[in-house]
Amino acid sequence: MATRSVFEEFDNQDAILDVPGNEVLILRPQDSKSTIGTQRFNGHACLVLMGTSPGSAVIMARFDCISAGRSSSEIIPGSEEEKSFLAEVEVDYMKMLRKVVKLFLDEHDLLRLPLAWLVLHHHDYPALSALLREKTVKIFQHLRIQTGVSICNESTIRAVSQQPPKFKVFAVRSEAGVPEIHVGDDLVYPKVHSGSLAPAFDKLGTGQVDNESEDYVAPHNYSYRR
């Protein structure tokens, strides 16, 4: 019998502020929920911007759609159509990033020692992932904010399981420690658990869960830049 994942435990207790596609939301210290995240993430990018000091707010943005509605699988690499497609993506994505930056500037007192973490869904289209990564890192380098990147590789997941991939991205805020970022059931920041899960579960009146589950964890790559 499989144990429930951390995300499932929070979800069952209605403790997650869910971020829909193409939306930017913030989880503030005074909010009743302990977690912000998205389940079955199959878009192009999910961005977490949070303060790493105790009691910080967490911003999450999820980027799914392309303005012209075209699929990257239909684009021929190196073609004029690809250039047009990527230009459209850039316009839409930069609109989303500007919303994130504005929210960060408006709420900067709640986001001390900030960290930006980008989760990319590879989609077997490297040019798209490279574009989103380049634009994100450039923006936060300009703001002197540390960045990290995780890449979910769908083809690797399908090689292990015949089930459709389920990407879960969520961040758990903490009143007394460093907030945590999880991709799938895997902790990606910080490198070891900060202890933020324990008070979150205590607040829900439930015990800690085993982080092992039958869900396959999306592979990820890390990179840090200042």
More confident residue, 19 or 151: 19
CA torsion, points 155, 160, 164, 169, in degrees to nearest 10?
Answer: -80
Q: What percent of the chain has pLDDT over 70?
A: 71
What is the pairing mode between strands 169-172 and 35-38?
antiparallel
pLDDT bin (cut points 50, 70, 90) of residue 216 is very low
Does the pTM exceed 0.85?
A: no
Least confident of 83-97, 123-137, 142-156: 142-156
Is 20 in contact with 62 (CB distance < 8 Å)?
yes
How confident is the model over 4-18, as a mean pLDDT?
A: 85
pLDDT surpasses 50 at 45? yes
- Is residue 42 over pLDDT 50? yes
**Token pair belonging to 191:** 């490198």
**Mean pLDDT score of the chain, rounded to an integer?**
78
13-38 burial string, b = 16+ CB within 10 Å, else e? bebbbbbeeeebbbbeeeeebbbbbb
Q: Of the given ranges (36-40, 98-102, 152-156), which has the lowest mean pLDDT? A: 152-156
Q: What is the DSSP string of the chain?
A: -PPPPHHHHHHHTT-EEE--TTEEEEE-TTSS-SEEEESS--SSEEEEEEE-STT--EEEEEE---TT---GGGPPTTSHHHHHHHHHHHHHHHHHHHHHHHHHHHTGGG--SEEEEEEEE-TT-HHHHHHHHHHHHHHHHHTT-EEEEEEE-HHHHHHH-SSPP---EEEE--SSS--EEEETTEEEESSS--S-HHHHHHHHT-----S--SSPPPP----EE-
User: Which pLDDT does position 226 carry in this prediction?
Assistant: 41
| 100 or 21, greater pLDDT | 100
Q: Of 13-22, 118-127, 150-159, 201-210, where does mean pLDDT reach its minimum?
A: 201-210
Kindly state the average pLDDT of the residues 185-190. Answer: 86
